[in-house]
A and B are shown apart, each in its own frame.
Chain A
Amino acid sequence: MAGQTTNDTIVGFKKISTWGTAVAVTSTNAFKLKVSQLSLSGGFGVINTRDTGFGKKIEDVARGVFTGNITVSMDLSYNQPWTALFASVMGTEGNASSEITASQGDYSHTIDLSDSISNSSMIAWTLAFTTEESVGAKLIELPSVKFFSASISQDVNAQGTVTFQGFFDKVVTSGWTTSYANLTGLSGTTPYEIAILGGTNHYLRMNASSGGSLSGSNDIPIQNYTITLNRPLSTRYALRAANSSYTYEPLDLGLIDGQVSFRLLEINASTLDHLANWSAATDQKAELFIDGTQIGSGVNRSIKIQLPALEPSPGLPAGYDIPNNNSFQNPIAAFTMKKRSAAPTGMSGVTDYIRAIFIDQRSTKWTA
Chain B
Amino acid sequence: MSSSDEAQIGEELVVVVEVVERPDGSVGLGNSLELTMSEAIEAIKAGKVRAETAPIGVVPADWE
CB distance from A6 to the nearest CB of B (A): 37
Bitwise interface map of B from 40 to 64 toward A, beta carbon under 8 Å scored 1, else 0: 0000000000101111111000000
Contacts A102-B58, A201-B22 hold; do A108 and B29 have CB atoms under 8 A apart? yes
Select the stretch in A240-248, A258-266, A313-321, A341-349 that faces chain B: A341-349
CB distance from A259 to the nearest CB of B (A): 25
CA–CA, A100 and B18, complex, Å: 12
Contact A102 B31 (CB under 8 A): no
Residue of A nearest to B27 (CB): A299
| CB-contact partner of B31 in A199, A214, A359, under 8 A | A214
Structural contact, B15 and A349, CB atoms closer than 8 A: yes
Interface check B34, CB cutoff 8 A: yes
Q: Are B55 and A100 in contact (CB under 8 A)?
A: yes
Question: Is chain B's binding surface mostly helix, strand, loop or mixed?
Answer: loop
Q: What number of A residues sit within 8 Å (CB to CB) of B?
A: 25
Secondary structure type dominating chain A contacts:
loop
Q: Does A200 contact B (CB under 8 A)?
A: yes
Q: Within the assembled complex, what's the spacing in Å between the Cα atoms of A194 and B15?
A: 31
Query: A300 and B28: CB pair below 8 A?
Result: yes
Q: Does A302 contact B (CB under 8 A)?
A: yes
Query: Assuming A108-B52, A200-B22, A201-B23, is B29 touching A100 (CB within 8 A)?
Result: yes
26 contacting pairs across A/B (C-beta < 8 A):
A97-B53, A98-B53, A100-B50, A100-B55, A100-B56, A101-B27, A101-B56, A102-B57, A102-B58, A108-B52, A199-B24, A200-B22, A200-B23, A200-B24, A201-B23, A201-B26, A299-B29, A300-B22, A300-B26, A302-B28, A346-B32, A346-B33, A348-B32, A348-B34, A349-B2, A359-B29
